[in-house]
Amino acid sequence: MAGEEQVECPLCMEPLEIDDVNFFPCTCGYQICRFCWHRIRTDENGLCPACRKQYPEDPAEFKPLTEDELQRIKKERKQKDLQRKQKAAENRKHLANVRVVQKNLVFVVGLSKKLAETETLKKQEYFGKFGKIHKVVINQSTSYAGAQGPSASAYVTYNKAEDALKAILAVNNVHIDGRTLKASLGTTKYCSHFLKGSQCQKQDCMYLHELGEEAASFTKERNAVRNSANNHVITTGSKPIPTRKKESSPLTVTTSSSPESQGTPPSIMSNHSPNSPSSNKDAWPSLQPGSKPNNKPTRTDQHNRVNNKIRTKSEEDTDHSSQITDRFNGTNTVHRTTDPQHSNTVHRTTDPQHISPPQQTKPPLSQPRIVNSGVPGVKTVVFDNPAQSLSLFSGNVFYGNRNQKIPVPTQTEVPDIPTTEISESIQVSSCTDWQAAFGFTSKSRESQDDDLGFDPWDESSKGLADLLEKENVTTNIHQQNNTHNQKYDQRPTQNLPPGFTLSHIQNQQRPVQHPAFLQNELVGSRMMGFLQQNPKRLGSMMSNRREQTNLQHPESYNKDWQDGLRALLPNINISFGAPPPTSANSQKSSQNNHKSRRCLSKNSYFDGPRTIFDPAILSSGKYSDGSMTDCPPHWLKSITQLTELEGQSQNHRLPFVQQFPIRNSGWPTQTQNPPPGFQTRPPTQHSEPHKISEGLQ
Amino acid sequence: MASMEKRLQKELTALMKDPPTGVKVDAESIYKNLSEWIVDLDGAPGTLYAGEKMQLLFKFGSRYPFDSPQVMFVGPNIPVHPHVYSNGHICLSILTEDWSPALSVQAVCLSIVSMLSSCTEKKRPPDNAFYIKTCSKNPKKTRWWYHDDNV
């Protein structure tokens, strides 16, 4: 019975119970616990695992322990346990209060609630920027914040110590969301298991399991002092910290100045320019805590480059207006990542993107929403390699959309979708500040300006003019919607290839829509909100356009675009379903959804967004819905109820749908769970995107 | 299930800590999923398989160790052996009906190494061509006839 403490059942590896110790079920002497014995006899083959003899009915050898023995064993065990624990504890007790500075651990305080999420901070736009992050631990306790209001702190563990230093240099004293971030190296304590001398079972335990360097270890009390000192050392240690030179390009004049004018509190930087009210954001991206206006540009640039991989002066300027850069990013990435995708898709889809820049520069701010939802982020998401987009800027997009709280003033009706115009005119300090600070767009921004090689506004204006000429649509309708459509229209026009007809253009327009929705979809839970807000616009304008054409020659129009589509996709066998029966039912819609979804999924990297896509389509269906006035079917009513917001603007268009109930037919029926209440909507939708996507299959 | 994990964990620890010669667990492969192991085998010196490197794939069901794991050769080198089919399946009684919960990954590995070592002529099983066309992916689904007790 010696050493029974350590004995485990060889099968289940559980330590043997005290009364299992004398339990030997087989004559061979192979010992297992009674639990396993029972299992083998009832559920398994009933053979002894060792000798493969049938287990006898009664255990071969089983002497229940006497009460005395039991007591004795228990006692012994307890004692031994105790002894072991004491020993370990004594050895390491003194370590309990010791904190050890970790070279790869960044401790940040002053995070706003919004930022205080592990995943957020890990993102490339935030701490992920400085290097590979091993772990982020958020402490939601507000005690660190003091005067700054509730804010959280976080421990960011980098894989490399340099990255941690980089992060600290860059983040310390940056002003975000009304709070000033403070960053320093963090300390860790010893794992309680280590202190007890036991094995730590936690797989990713971030506490120490071995003795740390003496020099880096402090007791709690000393640590406080030390910590601040440390902090100081770190920040001041970065001596050669020139500010990056400030150049305002015409594009961003307003924005770049905005954060400053907004009155970012004077930087609290310990060292170089304590007096400089200069924007903190400057400090962040270039990893330069101090901002000195007089610095030599060259040097600055070098620094910038060193620290922020890619960053040209002009880029820097633009990065102040996050939205602008957003868009540019979208464009650029598309350029750079040559899509292995169907060339057609690429062409079509990139078109709008190329043209998108004009939107930013465009003066009319009346419909910021359209602009925004129409394009920018979306492309990013859609056509870009997901990984890249994520790492580079898609986060941006998310950021912009998701966080309505981002201080985008409410000038626009839809505050949650910040647009270039908004940021330009409104000067959102903390928002831009933060984005700029993290150098959001630094990488993708390169060459954005040069890429265009033309004045987008001019180009698109021309295109629009062309379009207008060609369209023999009653002007008043057009005008009515022109404001809405303006930007939208221009996109396709610009890249209008020779010989393209109007219908082509219109076809082309549609796809653009998807990305837009897609983008917003990525925001997930915001879908509903989005549906109610944006699609209305988009949808309405689109439906207007379609109406124009369709009303005139529905049939020919249909054919027209089909032909156009074929022309567009010469290599692809496109077939169109026969015009559907008039009964517009929800099946149809689901078919549509299904189709387009499939098309999406075709692009390999699309897997993620696929589901996301749904809502886009659903929402796109709206414009069709909107077009029925006269006697909307039952489901329509409910939809209208669901989307009251859209109601007013769309009602006048209702008749359209009735006229041309559904043109898509013969598609497989079945939707993948559209959001509740939405299934009914899409029936009437027969937007080109779907068909095009069909063609792509 | 829990007992299976616990057992596997223990086996893994033991195997990593004190591996028998020629047996090496690919811990990387297990990192994500404890129920599938890749074990590297070295042909025992002095045998036909000396110097050969082979890989075994273990798949453990939730009833392990009361139920045998799926074991087969994977990777570029499937040893040529009268009991090893070219798709990696192994005809070894302890892997199916002669399995005993007292056996372990280590025991299985050693059995296989020993099976290889005792081989006298490198050849595929006589019914190899037929078997690999008709067999299930899971070697445990095969009804093996353990006709040859010599090897």
For residue A364, tell me if it sits in a domain. Answer: no
Structure tokens at A542: 């689109």
E strand or H helix that includes residue A625: helix A607-626
Order of strands, sheet of B36-42, starting from the edge strand that comes earlier in the sequence: B23-25, B36-42, B53-59, B70-74
Is B120 a residue whose pLDDT tops 70?
yes
Is A446 a residue whose pLDDT tops 60?
no
Sequence-separated (6 or more) residues with CB below 8 Å from residue A362: A371, A457, A487
The DSSP 8-state label assigned to residue A102 in this structure reads E
Interface A-B, measured as beta-carbon pairs within 8 A, has a size of: 35
A38 plus A61 within the same structural domain? yes
Structure tokens at A176: 């975000």
A28 plus A117 within the same structural domain? no
User: Which residue, among B78, B107, B102, has the nearest Cα to B90 in the 3D structure?
Assistant: B78
Task: Determine the Cα–Cα distance for residues A422 and A399; give it in Å rounded to an integer.
Answer: 15
- Number of structural domains chain A divides into: 3
pTM, to two decimals = 0.33
Q: What is the mean pLDDT of residues B137-151?
A: 68
Structure tokens at A267: 């930087």
Name the residue type at position A266: P
**Amino acid A510: pLDDT:** 45
Q: Which domain-ending residue is among A65, A84, A117?
A: A65
Find the chain B residues whose C-beta atoms sit closer than 8 A to any C-beta of A: 3, 6-7, 9-10, 65-66, 98, 100-103
Q: Which domain-ending residue is among A167, A199, A229?
A: A229
E strand or H helix that includes residue A381: helix A376-383
Contact residues, chain B, for A52 at CB < 8 Å: 98, 100
Band of the pLDDT at A312, cuts 50, 70, 90? Answer: very low
At A535, give phi and psi (nearest 5°): -55, -30
Higher per-residue pLDDT: A609 or A465: A465
| In chain A, % of residues over pLDDT 90 | 0
A103 plus A43 within the same structural domain? no
Is A694 a residue whose pLDDT tops 60?
no
Band of the pLDDT at A287, cuts 50, 70, 90? Answer: very low
E strand or H helix that includes residue A376: helix A376-383
3-state secondary structure of B55: strand
Q: What is the mean pLDDT of residues A368-397?
A: 37
Query: Does any CB of chain B come closer than 8 Å to the CB of residue A655?
Result: no
Band of the pLDDT at A210, cuts 50, 70, 90? Answer: confident
Domain ranges of chain B: 3-141
State the nearest Cα–Cα gap between A37 and chain B, in angstroms. 11
Task: Determine the Cα–Cα distance for residues A399 and A123; give it in Å rounded to an integer.
Answer: 11
Task: Determine the Cα–Cα distance for residues A543 and A509; give it in Å rounded to an integer.
Answer: 12
**Amino acid A152: pLDDT:** 80
Is B142 a residue whose pLDDT tops 50?
yes
Radius of gyration of chain A (CA): 33
Name the residue type at position B6: K
The DSSP 8-state label assigned to residue A452 in this structure reads H
For the ranges A8-22, A134-148, A466-480, the lowest mean pLDDT is seen at: A466-480
Band of the pLDDT at A172, cuts 50, 70, 90? Answer: confident
Is B61 a residue whose pLDDT tops 50?
yes
Query: Does any CB of chain B come closer than 8 Å to the CB of residue A13?
Result: yes
A127 plus A164 within the same structural domain? yes
Task: Determine the Cα–Cα distance for residues A295 and A283; give it in Å rounded to an integer.
Answer: 13
Higher per-residue pLDDT: A641 or A269: A641
Is A77 a residue whose pLDDT tops 50?
yes
Task: Determine the Cα–Cα distance for residues A560 and A507; give it in Å rounded to an integer.
Answer: 10
Name the residue type at position A423: S
Sequence-separated (6 or more) residues with CB below 8 Å from residue A18: A65, A70, A73, A74
Contact residues, chain B, for A9 at CB < 8 Å: none
Strands B53-59 and B70-74: antiparallel
User: Which residue, among A423, A425, A467, A415, has the nearest Cα to A441 in the 3D structure?
Assistant: A423
Higher per-residue pLDDT: B92 or A555: B92
Three-class HEC string of A271-309: CCCCCCCCCHHHHCCCCCCCCCCCCCHHHHHHHHHHHCC
Is A107 a residue whose pLDDT tops 70?
yes
Q: How far is CA A405 from the centre of its chain?
A: 16
For B20-40, write each residue's pLDDT tens digit: 888 888 877 777 788 888 889
Contact between chains at A40 and B66 (C-beta distance less than 8 A):
yes
3-state secondary structure of A431: helix
In B, minimum Cα distance to A35 occurs at: B3
Task: Determine the Cα–Cα distance for residues B125 and A36; give it in Å rounded to an integer.
Answer: 37
Check: CB of residue A460 under 8 Å from CB of residue A491: yes
Is A602 a residue whose pLDDT tops 70?
no
Is A528 a residue whose pLDDT tops 60?
no
Contact residues, chain A, for B65 at CB < 8 Å: 11
For residue A518, tell me if it sits in a domain. Answer: no
Polymer length in residues for chain A:
697
Task: Determine the Cα–Cα distance for residues A491 and A358; give it in Å rounded to an integer.
Answer: 9
User: Which residue, among B31, B101, B107, B111, has the nearest Cα to B64 in the 3D structure?
Assistant: B101
Is B119 one of the catalytic residues?
A: no
Is A194 a residue whose pLDDT tops 60?
yes
**Amino acid A517: pLDDT:** 44
Contact between chains at A49 and B6 (C-beta distance less than 8 A):
no
Task: Determine the Cα–Cα distance for residues A431 and B31; give it in Å rounded to an integer.
Answer: 41
Beta bridge partners of A96: none
Per CATH, the architecture of B3-141 is what? Roll (3.10)
Measured at the CA of A686, the angle between CA A676 and CA A597, to 5 degrees, comes to 60
Structure tokens at B97: 């009906």
State the nearest Cα–Cα gap between B122 and chain A, in angstroms. 32
Is A490 a residue whose pLDDT tops 50?
no
A82 plus A2 within the same structural domain? no
Band of the pLDDT at A310, cuts 50, 70, 90? Answer: very low
For A393-434, write each residue's pLDDT tens digit: 333 333 333 333 334 443 434 444 433 333 343 444 444 445
Contact between chains at A11 and B103 (C-beta distance less than 8 A):
no
The DSSP 8-state label assigned to residue A15 in this structure reads B
Measured at the CA of A102, the angle between CA A222 and CA A92, to 5 degrees, comes to 65
**Amino acid A262: pLDDT:** 39
Task: Show which of residues 26-65 on chain A sit within 8 Å of chain B, judged by CB atoms.
Answer: 30, 36, 39-40, 43-44, 47, 49-50, 52
Higher per-residue pLDDT: B129 or A86: B129
For residue A15, tell me if it sits in a domain. Answer: yes
For A237-272, write each residue's pLDDT tens digit: 333 333 343 333 333 333 333 333 333 333 333 333
For residue A269, tell me if it sits in a domain. Answer: no
Query: Residue A45: which domain range?
Result: 1-65
For residue A22, tell me if it sits in a domain. Answer: yes
Is B6 a residue whose pLDDT tops 80?
yes
State the nearest Cα–Cα gap between A202 and chain B, in angstroms. 14
State the nearest Cα–Cα gap between B48 and chain A, in angstroms. 31
Is B1 a residue whose pLDDT tops 60?
no
Structure tokens at A290: 């101090």
Band of the pLDDT at A520, cuts 50, 70, 90? Answer: very low
Radius of gyration of chain B (CA): 15
A548: how many CB neighbours lie within 10 A of its CB?
A: 19
Is A518 a residue whose pLDDT tops 50?
no
**Amino acid A163: pLDDT:** 87
Q: What is the mean pLDDT of residues A186-210?
A: 80
User: Which residue, among A492, A536, A686, has the nearest Cα to A596 in the 3D structure?
Assistant: A686
Check: CB of residue A421 under 8 Å from CB of residue A361: no
For residue A600, tell me if it sits in a domain. Answer: no
A123 plus A221 within the same structural domain? yes
Is B104 a residue whose pLDDT tops 70?
yes
Check: CB of residue A372 under 8 Å from CB of residue A536: no
Residue found under tokens 């002092």: A225
Highest-scoring range by mean pLDDT, A458-467, A666-675, B61-70: B61-70
Q: If you write DSSP's letter for every residue of A144-203 in order, what string do you get?
A: GTGGG-S-EEEEEEESSHHHHHHHHHHHTT-EETTEE-EEEEEEEEB-HHHHHT-----T
A486: how many CB neighbours lie within 10 A of its CB?
A: 20
**What CATH number has the domain bearing residue A143?**
3.30.70.330
For the ranges A184-198, A630-644, B13-27, the lowest mean pLDDT is seen at: A630-644
For the ranges A207-216, A462-471, A476-485, B116-125, the lowest mean pLDDT is seen at: A476-485
Beta bridge partners of B36: B59
**Amino acid B73: pLDDT:** 92
Is A187 a residue whose pLDDT tops 50?
yes
Higher per-residue pLDDT: A560 or A138: A138
Contact between chains at B100 and A11 (C-beta distance less than 8 A):
no
Higher per-residue pLDDT: A499 or A121: A121
At B63, give phi and psi (nearest 5°): -90, 0
Band of the pLDDT at B130, cuts 50, 70, 90? Answer: confident
Task: Determine the Cα–Cα distance for residues A493 and A469; give it in Å rounded to an integer.
Answer: 12
A87 plus A113 within the same structural domain? no
**What CATH number has the domain bearing residue A24?**
3.30.40.10
Task: Determine the Cα–Cα distance for residues A39 and A689; give it in Å rounded to an integer.
Answer: 61
Query: Does any CB of chain B come closer than 8 Å to the CB of residue A207?
Result: no
Q: Which domain-ending residue is among A21, A45, A65?
A: A65
Polymer length in residues for chain B:
151
The DSSP 8-state label assigned to residue A65 in this structure reads P
Strands B53-59 and B36-42: antiparallel
Higher per-residue pLDDT: A199 or A531: A199
**Amino acid A561: pLDDT:** 66
State the nearest Cα–Cα gap between A10 and chain B, in angstroms. 7
Task: Determine the Cα–Cα distance for residues A186 and A172; give it in Å rounded to an integer.
Answer: 13
Band of the pLDDT at A178, cuts 50, 70, 90? Answer: confident
Q: How far is CA B29 from the centre of its chain?
A: 16
Check: CB of residue A625 under 8 Å from CB of residue A650: yes
**Amino acid A227: pLDDT:** 47
Measured at the CA of A191, the angle between CA A228 and CA A219, to 5 degrees, comes to 35
Beta bridge partners of A138: A154
For A545-557, write each residue's pLDDT tens digit: 444 444 445 455 5
**Amino acid A164: pLDDT:** 87
For B62-89, write each residue's pLDDT tens digit: 888 888 899 999 989 899 998 899 889 9
Mean of all residue pLDDT scores within chain A: 55
**Amino acid A479: pLDDT:** 47
Residue A653 CA neighbour count, 13 Å, CB half: 29
A188 plus A160 within the same structural domain? yes
Task: Determine the Cα–Cα distance for residues A136 and A127; give it in Å rounded to an integer.
Answer: 9
Mutate to test the interface with A, among B7, B15, B31, B64 (most CBs of A within 10 A): B7
